[in-house]
Structure formats: structure tokens, C-alpha cells
Structure 1
């Protein structure tokens, strides 16, 4: 009877927790750009689409979207092209760096030989063709043959004139011969030649029998007829003679042969017209797919029966069937997002604009984005026409009173956004100053709200280069009292003493400003310039890339020569002053200055006051005091999309850490969450714990740094730990490192006052 009661109790807990499951601690997610389609391939039951950064598949019957990325098991990012071998049921993905992945059923097989090769020249993979369990890669070196059964490079055809490398654009075969479309023309070889990597076994046929000389863009076999693309003309072979069967004056994005037709994706310059043509091998147009609303920038197309699947640069994947169009949208941001990134009220805000290292604008119209944990929303000129001039949004702030969004453009002024119909753009109608030497250009370099809801703004290159839009809506302008080239000012941070820390770009340190008793009284304003050298701030470098305030109120600075900490920001303007110091970190029994030779680009503080540090060489997690390295993530040892980190932001509620890189955004569920002073709302995940689960169990919503005990129903202690902020982590094992038995375990938490209370239950199921 006792077993039946426990089983009934377990089942009730299972049902109660089904809707409350959270992703396991230590799990990665990616948030790459899947909106721009560039290549498409067909399988029996799926359509595969390549984007600039990853790939995805669509179920042809159910429309189910599956992302194919490094987080899902791929070995790289930045997809150049892909193709599907129907005979071998294998998807081949070629990356921009010439790395190669083969997807077969549930396996991903990496073939890195081309990527790792030290050979000089253009190793780019431009096209992929298949024949007899082999993939023929058209590259800048020649034709590289991959054995798809042994998963290895089996041959390389170096077929340029006199044995040189030549760019190959496409490859095809008929019953007896191979055809290579190269920059030197169409080259042909007998398949049974003794040595196909000898250029002398290849004959250039361009310039003979009706085929013009010079570069050939593509070659295909369509029902045993060889088809060649020569710029904007299609030629077909007839008994060794070549005949032009179709041409037009549009710009051809791609030509493909699929389901016994030729598909041309093209654009008519100056007319805002784009279309896909379906043409027979004798040059007859049998279908024109054109709809400027549904099809914006067709890049590549394939056909199956009455369906034409089109990779569109703006729309992603579009299926055209007669006059009907269906778009398959994958929710994601646009491209890599370079601007500021932070959380407010459980929502991620990301500025998508760009500036280069010299702080010049890039005319990036990406705008800004929000992410609620499941859905990305974009705000830019694509869906908000008034943002046409608000380019390069590099900084963003949210008014804590009503969540009005302020987006700072590096050239287009300041956008105040409440909704699509309630907005205002500040330029000459405010205290913003036009950039010196750049008329009509208003540059916002950084922003931050203070505790009194005043918005502080750095006005890069403005004559009065530091501003405040006060909580009552009135503006006040200041001029930084130091001589600095172009009056340049960047990011803004406000400390616990209400002082403003202002980044000075291009290796000029940072300013600190204290407005005294009143913003409007300039008489007691104080300024300080932090730079290298004792007595001047003691920074390790004047190139300050980032700054953050930790839970102790300390200011952490990331420079191109490591990290500096200011532990006494409230004493900056006292007689003795306050200077930065470099912490000494212990790693591998070696103590040294923290990241002394690292270019630190981003720092974020989690709920346990630990620091996540992003550099050009990956990510470190270090202890709260900066004296110990706890984790190290790189693109080589983890799903991190790139070692070049731009920004880091942390969701305080879930502990998920977001990394912005040049290949897009990815996230890692960390172990520290914001503390909860109401232990009745503690969440345990996963619970129930399934038999096959070997990951960490998170206990979230605990009091700050509480002592947590896991006990059996009879009170016997199984495990004890301390929470990271408001979350404790348990690997499901007891003190003997043995996995606990199935059953119900109680979670007890003791707060800082020593009061212990049962806060949750964990169910293990066989």
C-alpha cells in the first residue's frame, strides 16, 4: 500500500510539472539569422534551405521547421552552399571557410581536410554535384572529389591551363564524360581517363562548335542533354555542336536544373522586377513565377511536380504552386547584431546597428530587436517607415516608468518609441547637436537612465556632447570640459552614487561626471578623466571597450589589455581619489594579471556576482572577486558561434547568458539566477527527472546565497550546496557520487538568518 501511495503522489507531481518544464542548465541555444534564403535543395520529405549563417529544413507535408546549426550538432557556422544527394540520402553543407559537413540520418560527419589544408589559393566551395556516391565540389582550386561512403577526399582535379588552379563554377556528367564550367571555359574529360587530375586529360571546348570562348558560369545535365550558362545565355549541346536557346537582359542570380527544367532566378535592374523562369531544354518558357509582394529577391530555386521552392533573400523560403504562394518564416533576428544588448523586465533588447573601429557609421538599417525568450520582434524601416533615416542604432534604453524605448542612432538622432503610431525622432528639435564637420548628422553614442528616470545621452561629435532628457521632459546640455578630438563620447554607465561614467572612444580612456546637488546647478559639477598611469586613473590601457557595475557597486572595465576594477567609485572626487587596479587571477597554478594580453570586449555580471568576460578568443566565467577562472568557452570546445565576442547579456530570471558574435547570437543557460524572497515560488527543473536524464537539476527562486539541502522523505541528508544568487544546482547524485534512487526528495533552504524551510520537491522516475 505504501508503494501505491507514493506512486500516486509521484504521478500527481508529474502532471503538475508538465507545464513548468525549463531547459536544463548547461544547454545552448542559437539565435542566428534564418530570414535570408540563399540556396535550396529537395529531399523526398524535406526542403533544405541555406542562409548566411546556418541552415534549416521544412517538412514538405507538415511544414515543420527544424533548425540545423552548430548547437544542433554542426561543426561550423557561415554556410556557403548546400546540396542533397537523393541516391545516398545525404545532405552536404559547405561553409565559407571550406569546412564540410555531411548529414546522414541522425549523424553529422565532418570532413575538414580542405579547411585544414595549407595549400595556397582560393579554397572556396562554389557548388556541389553528385554522382555514384561521390560529391564533386566546384572550388577555386579545381574539382575536389569526396567519397561519401568513406567520408574522405578521394581525388582533386587541377585542370587549369598548364596545370594551374582555376576557379570551377559548376560540374556535371553524362554517361561517359565529365564537364567542368570554369573561368577558362568549359572543360571536358572522359570519365575512364587514367589520371583525371592531369590537366592534359581535359579539353577546353569553349570557343569551338558555336560555344563562345571565355568563362562559363554553370553546366548541367538535363535528360542526357548538356546545358551551359554563358553569362545571360543558355546553350545546349546537340551532337557536339552548341546552340543558344535562350537569353535575356536581366541580371541572373542563379541558374539551376531541377525536375527536367531550367530554373533562372533573376532581377531587372531599375524596374524593381524579380522573377523565376522555368525553361525547357530547348529554351521555351513554360512558367514565370513573379509576385513582388510574395517574392522579393529570389536567389535559387528547385522544382518538384507542380511545386517550385525558392530561396529568397528577404522572404526566406517561398513555395510557388501555380498562382499560389506560401512563405515559410523562421523567427529570428537579422544577421549579427552589433549594438548594445541588455535585459529589462524579462525581455532582451538588442540594438542592431554598426560602427567600425574608427567610429564611423555604416548605414546599417537593421534597427533594434526584442526577444521574450521565444519570439523575436524587429523594429526597422522594413516595417516602420519612419525609421528610414534612423540607421545604425547602436545604443538602446528603456524608460522604467512605462517601458518607452529610446533608440540611439549614430547619425539619425534619437528615437522615442511607444508604438507604431506613438513615436518621436529627436534631432534639431532637441538639445542634440549636429556632428562637428558633418551637417545634418546627429550621433548618439550611448545612453542610460538614472534612478530618478532622467535619460543621460552622449552626443558624439556634438559641440555640447553630454545631454540629459530629464524625467519631466526638459533637456539640459553639457560640454565635457576636456579637449578631446571630435568631442567623441560613447557608452554611458551610472553608478550607485548617481555618477556618470562615459566611454571615450578610440583609446582615450573614460570620463566621470558628478552633477552635484542639482542637474540645473552647474556650479558644483565635477569631472574627472581616467587614463593610464598612477595619479591619472591607473587604467591598464586607454582603450576602454566596455564597462559594467557589479552587485557590490564596483566598476569593471574591459580594455584591449585586460580588465581593471574600480572598487571605490564613490571616492573618485575625494582628496585621495580612487584608481583602478588589475586583479590577479589563479589559473593552472599560475597567478597573473587578469587577461593581461586579452582584448576584452564585453563583461556581464550574473546573479551570483560572477563575471562573464568576452574577448576575441572566446568567453571566460570568473569568480565574483575575479581571482579564479570557473569556465572557458570557445568555438572549438562548445557551440559558441565565434570566438570574437561583441556583447554579453544575462537574463536574471533564468540565468541564460546571451553572447553576441559576428556570426550571430547564441545563449547558454547558466547556473545563477536572481534571488527570490518568496520561497513558496521555487521552481525545480526538470521535475520529474526522467530515467535517461544525466544533466544538472536547477532549483530556482531561492533566497540570496541560501544553503540548500536535498533530503529523503525520512529526513536523511542526500546532498548539500549553496545557491548561486537564487538558484542551486544538483547533479542528481549523493555524496558517494551515486545517482539517487527513484522516489520523492525534499528541498530545504536556509536563508541568511538561519531559518530553514521546505521549498520544493524533486521526483526521480525509473
Structure 2
């Protein structure tokens, strides 16, 4: 279940680009592991619940292993974890209230809390182990789980008169249960046979609420009351009888309290402190002169002989503190953030824009920097390379200069990066023809980027008088107003250039404007503009709420809306007076015809090397359709695949290797697709896997092909066993003959011919059964 991430295996297992010979149809983990939720310390390893999966830190060799939904976990976003120490059983809770119980290689999954029919939230905030009993602190109350019988009891509605109350965390002194809630501190007898009865729980009348965290230490209970002003939290203790402020710890914003037999520990936004039983500082934020610039989320003591503590952080993974020294940033390979609004890939690199806009094309004010993956490793990115820009929403590779990458900031203009991720320059209203956003001083909102056939960069400059802008290869700039079709107050987003160099502009809830410059950028007198809507003769869109656009390899334009997808098969007719309206692709379902994805919001469209259509939707995952859109080839959902969520935000396809990057609202995942971009001639033709070893049951890929090449496979005697046409620049063979049976052990010859028969190539495949 675990995935080794060290040494050579680290690079081999994770690099879908540096090591392209990954099995077709396999999934890759592109999640961050730097945000820590909970920690369990074992003699030989530390188990870390990161927000997006588990990872294991080897205490002797400091190796890292990781697990995610791809490896068999039942959820994606972890909210709590603990361990039944006696049996070494992990209990992991997810934000969908599914619970995994993991003992060695055995894993059981429970849906009891998820199935509760209660109003409001059901998030599991914490898990308290007490012997064989596990107490779940939930947004509605408490649930009890017995690790031996695997039975649940609850829900316990412990609020006033049996009402729901948010329980943040629980603790015990061995006799009583203490619950930190939004209403205050609740107490119950641990051995009360009817904890389901709200009368078993009493609310402390002195403290009041809310209480976000608590810990029982050396005969006293310590609770934290958040202050109304940042960094004014107060800890109260009842060790001396009544509640009194505990002033041995500063008034920080306190994320959690923890305790064991030796120490009372606190985690704050600026570090941690561990106090011994004499309330002397044993370790902390300045212990040994070392500062801790970390937002600490959780803490567990390690080896007391070395003054060892393991700290969980919000952005820096696992931190090991020992004898005043610091070993930071233990977390598996991955990006720093899980948000992905746009993703592009080529060769051995992936670039991710983590910003975003809402449904009204308004800022989310996401300041997270771009993420870059190169040769299988995510490169830590520096916030400074964005030059204080936020809401990075699109990225485009320059088609001429491989060392130039362009980015759209929906706040600070057009960004130009060098290939190493350093910022080359930024263009906004102060140093270019770009204009300041109407009604929002200081903003230059670039909504989308695309290149035309002459490698000129087109962009949208949202909410301005001239919202369409182009930059030529000679650094000449031109901008264009869209008149009444797109007033300066209207937010606009993406731009797409079709095969006729017509420019398509996505409007917010108002269709599309198509712009024809007649290849005279400096002469606006011959420009043409047309607005596409839902009426016949005016575009026949399925809805004016356009969400995505793409041009396929035949020049057809596919438009995704909140009511399905339509296709402009003749976009070159838009300004000719001929019929150009979009058409609905009809598909057969259960013996009748229906419109393609007519009930889906199509949020993303990508075209692979075989001209197949990848449609991302808002609630139904990813549909992979045949080139003409009439046949469903694949349908990935979170229920039938490792896909992290059915809400798709972006899809990017690597043209060289066929890797498909799918961004969801819960992070990004990759899938090894079967199509690559074909070339005019044959390249370095090869097959993988080769040799095919016993037990292999997937597809064999033959790559480096001329586009749509004919592929014939024979045995060594010349008998034809298989024939197909390449998907772009790659062909697939399942290792079977025409009869559907696995071919025998032997050497097989692959004869290749381009589509007009002018060029041929040959390669071999060795199969061992």
C-alpha cells in the first residue's frame, strides 16, 4: 500500500515525465503533503496524517513513504487520526466522514458517521483513544467507536437539552471525559453506561465558550479560550481547584494543547513550548537559540533521551526538534499547494497556476505562487517570483522560445518567466498598453492567454475599455474594444484562437464574442466582431454561461457551458453570412439519442494527440469521448477510480508522453493516457514495456509514430496478429491476436506506414508468457 519515495525508487515511482515508461492507464499522485493534521510516534517510524494523505518517516534512516487514495485510502482530505497503541491500529477520518481502520496491511472502512441523517455539518475534528474506545469529536457532538468490536455508538448530542454542539477536541483523566466545544467545556463520567443521554453531560458554568483545545496534565485540566483579537488567547487551569488563568504560557493564538506523562505542550502560530511538571521550559521556540518560523498545528514527544519532539506544521511538513536543534521540512515529493486553476505540460515539465476566480469572474485573492514540476520533482517556488501578483489563473508556453513561459494574473497583469521559474518581467497598466480595471485602482486583470498561427500572444484585459490585447513577436502591442458586445464593466476571462486565427472571447454569463482582425493588427477599420448567443442564427449555444472552449485537430471548436457541450464544425463561416451555428453531438443511450452531456456543466475541455475529447465536469468527473464525440471511451469518477473528486477544474495533456493532468477541487491527479502528438514523419520508434514480462496484462505502447500511422503486427513467421491506427503519435496493443487470445511467447514484428504510404518503419516486441 505504501509508496517508497527515497533514492532511485523515489524518482522512478513518481516521475511520470522523467521516466515516461509508466504503465498506460496508471494514476499518479500530484498532491501536497506539507500540511500536517496529526502525528503518531512509533518506535521505528512516525506516522503523519497530512491533509491529503498519510506519510511515514523512518526514524533510523529518515526515509519517507506515502499513501493516498491512489494506494487504497478511502478518502482524500484527512481531518483527524489517532492510534490504538496496544494493537498498532491507525484510525483515520476524512472530510466526507468515511473512516479507515488500518492494522498492518489490513484495512477496514466504515461509513456509519457519513450515513447519519442529521442536519448541519458532520466533520470529524479529533479522535481521542481511551483503551479500546475511540471518541470522535464532531461538528454535531460525539460518537464512540470500539476498536475491538468495531461497533459505533452515537451520535451523542451533548448540547443544551440534547441539541447539537460543535465539539472541537476531547481529553480524559481516566475518570471523566472533557469536551472542548463552541459552547464551553462539557464533562461526563467516562464509565457512564448511557453517554447518549445528554443528561450525562454537564456544561461548566464558569468558563463559557468557545474552547478550541484542551489537555489533561499532571492532575490538572488546561483549556484554551481564543481571544477576540489575534494573539490574545488565554489558558485556564483547574489544578488548584477553581479556574485560574495559566500565565506560564504566553497569550499567543493557540492551535492546540497536548500532554503526556512528562510535558504540557502548546502549538501556536509562531512556534511551540513544552513545560515540565515544575512548569519549567524544557523546549520551545527559542530553545538553543533556534527560531521556529513555522505555523505549528500539532506536537508529539519523541525520544526523551534526546529531547526529541515531532512537530506538525501548516506548510512545512514534519519538523524534528531535538536537543535544541532543528530538522525541518520532512514531507514527500509534491507541490506546495493543492489548488490548481490551470495546468500545462510539455516534455519533462509541468506548470501549475494555483489562483482562481469565482463564478462571477471576481478575484479569490489567492496569493499562492506558481508550482513547477521538472524531471519528476516539484521545485519549491518562491513567492517573490510572482512580483506580489495574486490569482495566477492561466499559463502558456511560448511556441517559439522554449525558455519563455507566460502567465495571466487576474490582478497584476501579464507575467513572463524564464524556464527556471525566475521572473523575467511583468506588464501592467503602468508599463504597457494594458489598462487598469474599471472601478478597481491598481488592478490589471488578465483573464486568459492563447497564441495564434504566427505565435502572437493574445490575452483578455478584463473590465476595461479595450479588453482584447495582442503582443507580437517584435514586442508590438495592440488592443481592441468590443463596443457594446462587451462593455467595460463586464468581466471576461478566457481567450482562444481558432485555426483561422479568429479570436474567441469568453464573457461572464453572456456567451462569446468572436473577433476577426483580418491579419491587419494596426488597422481597426477592417475588424469584424460577432456575439454568439443561444438563438438560432446567432450561434445556437446551449447556454450563455460559457465555461470552456477548445479547438480540435480538424478545426472544429467545442464549447462547454453549464448545460452541456456544443460544436462549431465550420467556425470559418462566422463572418461569411453562411450558417455557422453550433451543433449538438448526439449519442445513443439505451436505444435512444440524447445530446452530449446535456445535463452537465462542462468546466474544461482538452484534446489529446488522437483528437479524443476530454471533458471535465462540475459534478460528474471526466468523460473521454471519441474524436467525433459520439462514443464514450472512458468515464472517471471518484466512485469508480482514484479520481479525488467529481468536481473538475482543469485538464492539461502532455503532448509528448500522453500524461493527462486532472485538477479537481481536492487536488490534482495524473493519468497515463494512450495518445500522444503525432509528427509528420516517424521519430524514435520504440515499444514499452519491452520485453513484456510474465503477468503483464495492460496495453503495450508503440510510440514515435507519424500521425495516424497504420500499424501491423506479425509473428516471426509473418502471420498478421493485430492491426490498428495510431492515436496521434502512439499506437496501443493489448498483446492479443484477432481472436482475443494472448499471443504466445516470442518476438513480434511491428510494421509501420504513414497515412499516405510514403514512409515506413519497423520495430520489434519481445513477449514472455
Normalising by structure 2, what TM-score? 0.89
Matched with 1:520 is: 522
User: Is the 8 Å Cα contact of residues 516 and 528 (structure 2) preserved in structure 1?
Assistant: yes
Query: Structure 2: how far apart are the matches of 1:169 and 1:734?
Result: 60
User: Is the 8 Å Cα contact of residues 336 and 371 (structure 2) preserved in structure 1?
Assistant: no
For the residue of structure 1 that corresponds to 2:762, the secondary structure is strand
Q: Give the 5 Å matches for 1:387-406.
A: 387-388=387-388, 390-402=389-401, 403-406=403-406
Gaps of 5+ in 1: 1-18, 268-273
User: Is the 8 Å Cα contact of residues 681 and 759 (structure 2) preserved in structure 1?
Assistant: no
User: Is the 8 Å Cα contact of residues 432 and 462 (structure 1) preserved in structure 2?
Assistant: no
Q: Give the 5 Å matches for 1:322-401.
A: 322-327=323-328, 328-372=330-374, 374-377=376-379, 379=381, 381=383, 383-384=384-385, 387-388=387-388, 390-401=389-400
For the residue of structure 1 that corresponds to 2:113, the secondary structure is helix
Deviation at 1:433, TM superposition (A): 1.0
For residues 306-365 of structure 1, the C-alpha deviation after alignment (integer angstroms, 9 at most, x for no partner) is: 221111112122111123211214332343434333334553332221111111112211
Deviation at 1:587, TM superposition (A): 2.9
Structure-2 change in CA distance of 1:675 and 1:736 (3 Å): same
For residues 281-319 of structure 1, the C-alpha deviation after alignment (integer angstroms, 9 at most, x for no partner) is: 453321113488653211111111122111111212211
Structure-2 change in CA distance of 1:378 and 1:532 (3 Å): farther
Query: Structure 1: how far apart are the matches of 2:576 and 2:290?
Result: 65
Query: Structure 2: how far apart are the matches of 1:760 and 1:341?
Result: 34
Matched with 1:639 is: 642
Matched with 1:14 is: none
Deviation at 1:186, TM superposition (A): 4.2
For residues 425-447 of structure 1, the C-alpha deviation after alignment (integer angstroms, 9 at most, x for no partner) is: 43321101111222222111122
Deviation at 1:592, TM superposition (A): 0.9
Query: Structure 1: how far apart are the matches of 2:290 and 2:399?
Result: 41
User: Is the 8 Å Cα contact of residues 481 and 527 (structure 1) preserved in structure 2?
Assistant: no
Q: Give the 5 Å matches for 1:79-228.
A: 79-204=78-203, 206-207=204-205, 212=207, 216-222=211-217, 225-228=219-222
Instruction: Tell which deviates more after alignment, 296-305 or 89-98.
Output: 89-98
User: Is the 8 Å Cα contact of residues 347 and 656 (structure 2) preserved in structure 1?
Assistant: no
Matched with 1:6 is: none
Matched with 1:722 is: 725
User: Is the 8 Å Cα contact of residues 513 and 530 (structure 2) preserved in structure 1?
Assistant: yes
For residues 481-534 of structure 1, the C-alpha deviation after alignment (integer angstroms, 9 at most, x for no partner) is: 334341543211112212211112x21111111211421122222221111111
Deviation at 1:154, TM superposition (A): 4.1
Query: Structure 1: how far apart are the matches of 2:707 and 2:326?
Result: 54
1:289 aligns with 2:281: no
User: Is the 8 Å Cα contact of residues 227 and 281 (structure 1) preserved in structure 2?
Assistant: no
Matched with 1:559 is: 561
Query: Structure 2: how far apart are the matches of 1:756 and 1:474?
Result: 42
Query: Structure 2: how far apart are the matches of 1:176 and 1:354?
Result: 50
For residues 540-591 of structure 1, the C-alpha deviation after alignment (integer angstroms, 9 at most, x for no partner) is: 1111111111010111111111111111122221132522111111233331
Matched with 2:223 is: 229
User: Is the 8 Å Cα contact of residues 711 and 746 (structure 1) preserved in structure 2?
Assistant: yes
Matched with 2:407 is: 407
Q: Give the 5 Å matches for 1:538-577.
A: 538-577=540-579
Query: Structure 2: how far apart are the matches of 1:129 and 1:280?
Result: 23
Query: Structure 1: how far apart are the matches of 2:693 and 2:511?
Result: 53
Structure-2 change in CA distance of 1:84 and 1:457 (3 Å): same
Query: Structure 1: how far apart are the matches of 2:211 and 2:313?
Result: 24
Matched with 2:670 is: 667
Query: Structure 1: how far apart are the matches of 2:707 and 2:660?
Result: 19
Of 711, 717, 721, which residue of structure 2 is paired with 1:708?
A: 711
Deviation at 1:702, TM superposition (A): 2.6
Deviation at 1:40, TM superposition (A): 2.5
Query: Structure 2: how far apart are the matches of 1:670 and 1:152?
Result: 42
Normalising by structure 1, what TM-score? 0.89
1:73 aligns with 2:72: yes
RMSD: 2.7
User: Is the 8 Å Cα contact of residues 184 and 208 (structure 2) preserved in structure 1?
Assistant: yes
Matched with 1:308 is: 309
Matched with 2:38 is: 39
Deviation at 1:165, TM superposition (A): 3.1
**Number of residue equivalences:** 732
User: Is the 8 Å Cα contact of residues 463 and 487 (structure 1) preserved in structure 2?
Assistant: no
Deviation at 1:686, TM superposition (A): 2.2
Instruction: Tell which deviates more after alignment, 313-322 or 397-406.
Output: 397-406
Query: Structure 2: how far apart are the matches of 1:350 and 1:426?
Result: 21
Matched with 1:3 is: none
1:745 aligns with 2:748: yes
Deviation at 1:613, TM superposition (A): 0.5
For residues 607-644 of structure 1, the C-alpha deviation after alignment (integer angstroms, 9 at most, x for no partner) is: 11110101112111111111111111111111111111
Structure-2 change in CA distance of 1:570 and 1:612 (3 Å): same
Gaps of 5+ in 2: 1-17, 226-233
Matched with 1:299 is: 297
Instruction: Tell which deviates more after alignment, 331-340 or 70-79.
Output: 331-340
Deviation at 1:676, TM superposition (A): 4.8
Deviation at 1:22, TM superposition (A): 1.6
Deviation at 1:725, TM superposition (A): 1.9
Structure-2 change in CA distance of 1:587 and 1:174 (3 Å): same
Query: Structure 2: how far apart are the matches of 1:757 and 1:410?
Result: 49
Query: Structure 2: how far apart are the matches of 1:416 and 1:756?
Result: 40
For the residue of structure 1 that corresponds to 2:588, the secondary structure is strand
